[in-house]
Copies of this chain bind each other. A is one copy, B any other.
Amino acid sequence: MAVTLADVAAVCRLSMSTVSRALSHPERVNARTRSRVERIARELGYVRHEVTRSQVSRRTAIIGLIVPDIANPFFSVMTKAVQDRAWKKGYSVMLADTDERAADEPDRARVLAEQADGLILASPRADDGRLREIARSSPVAFANREIARSSPVVFANREVDGAAGVVIDEYAGMNEAVQYLVSLGHRSICYLSGPGRSWSDQRRREAIGAACRAHGAELTELGPFEPQIQAGMRAADVIRFRGATAAIAYDDMIALGLIARLAERRVKVGREISVIGIDCGPLSEAAHPMLTTVHLPGAELGALAVDLLLDRLDPAAAGREPPRVRLESRLVIRGSTGLRVP
């Protein structure tokens, strides 16, 4: 057995209450008592049993984060930011990776919710109905009492009716990208789409479609592709028969695979064909030529999701409207795009 509060109290010849207060609300006990308690606690090697504390106080200081694939740089960058912000605010992060299986999300959410004070769902793949269910988890009534044990949920990179969330507005970035391509002379653009279950893919597709119509470019679509380098390579083999002179990929992974394979085929990226990716962290610089990309503020997304969640955790937030925040994206021009050669 470990040293408990009772042990410390016994040695101090004080009641447990006082010891507990000395350790948790130092301002509520005499300064001398406090330092004596602190010293003895230290000498005995007392460490508070956090689990018990959580049980009594109804909070674990844990936030749960669910991502589709932590190995995807976009999510690992975001996770890093979540973790960092949470740590600074005194919270720990429990991580769940669904490996892109939408069906697992409710399960994972349920399990995390049992121990976390709140949940962040990043780019969830499940449908709106299921997500809404997760968001207001089991509001059953019983014996005239409201049922509470529901963890607040914040969605990142996904809009769900009536739920709190942070999203990245990709519209502007995509529009910039298309406009830039058109200004370079490209008239036929190919979108390499991401997994159908991705809400972002829908948005990107819409945004590109609208931009192409606005700027008078023709749009073709290829896909869906998994957000992985291998998939991008496969895309390279298909794209050349489409007559497009420029491609926008669902994400940098696909774009990277694409230009690697094109380079292998001796196609000069940035000259014979222009490629634009969509940001997943610092990877866009790994290629040669370096990837022109629509930068997504993944780190800010994560940090903000934490802020929103902690805000909701405050009981004062109970009544308030779930907050929605929108971040901006922007085009970063590098070497993988260039003037259309006739």
Chain A interface residues (CB < 8 Å from chain B): 1-3, 7, 44-45, 47-52, 54-55, 60, 62, 69-71, 73, 76-77, 79-80, 83-84, 87, 92-97, 99, 108, 111-112, 114-115, 138, 140, 142-143, 145-149, 228-230, 233, 256-257, 259-260, 263-264, 281-283, 285-290
Contacts and interface: CB of A to CB of B under 8 A. Distances in A.
Contact of A71 (B69, B73, B289): B73
Nearest to A284: B229
B51 A115 contact: yes
A207 to B, nearest CB: 26
Contact of A112 (B73, B92, B282): B92
A5 to B, nearest CB: 13
Contact of A260 (B148, B230, B286): B286
A230 to B, nearest CB: 7
Contacts of A47: 114, 138, 149
A228 to B, nearest CB: 7
A97 B70 contact: no
A-B CB proximity, top 8 nearest: A45-B140, A2-B149, A263-B288, A50-B114, A76-B76, A256-B286, A95-B95, A260-B288
Contacts of A94: 62, 92-95
B84 A97 contact: yes
Contacts of A93: 94-96
Contacts of A145: 1
A147 B49 CA distance: 13
Contacts of A111: 92
A273 to B, nearest CB: 14
A264 B229 CA distance: 21
Which of A1, A146, A230, A289 has the most chain B CB atoms closer than 10 A to its own CB? A1
B286 A287 contact: yes
Nearest to A99: B84
Contact of A257 (B7, B62, B95, B286): B286
A73 B127 CA distance: 29
Contacts of A264: 288-289
Given A260-B287, A288-B288, A228 B44 contact: no
A336 B171 CA distance: 38
Given A60-B115, A140-B45, A286-B287, A3 B260 contact: no
A10 to B, nearest CB: 9
B80 A69 contact: yes
A7 B141 CA distance: 12
Contacts of A115: 50-51, 54, 60, 62, 92
A256 to B, nearest CB: 4
Contact of A55 (B52, B256, B288): B52
A114 B142 CA distance: 34
B77 A282 contact: no
A255 to B, nearest CB: 10
A70 B62 contact: no
Nearest to A261: B288
Contact of A281 (B7, B71, B138): B71
A47 B73 CA distance: 35
A122 to B, nearest CB: 13
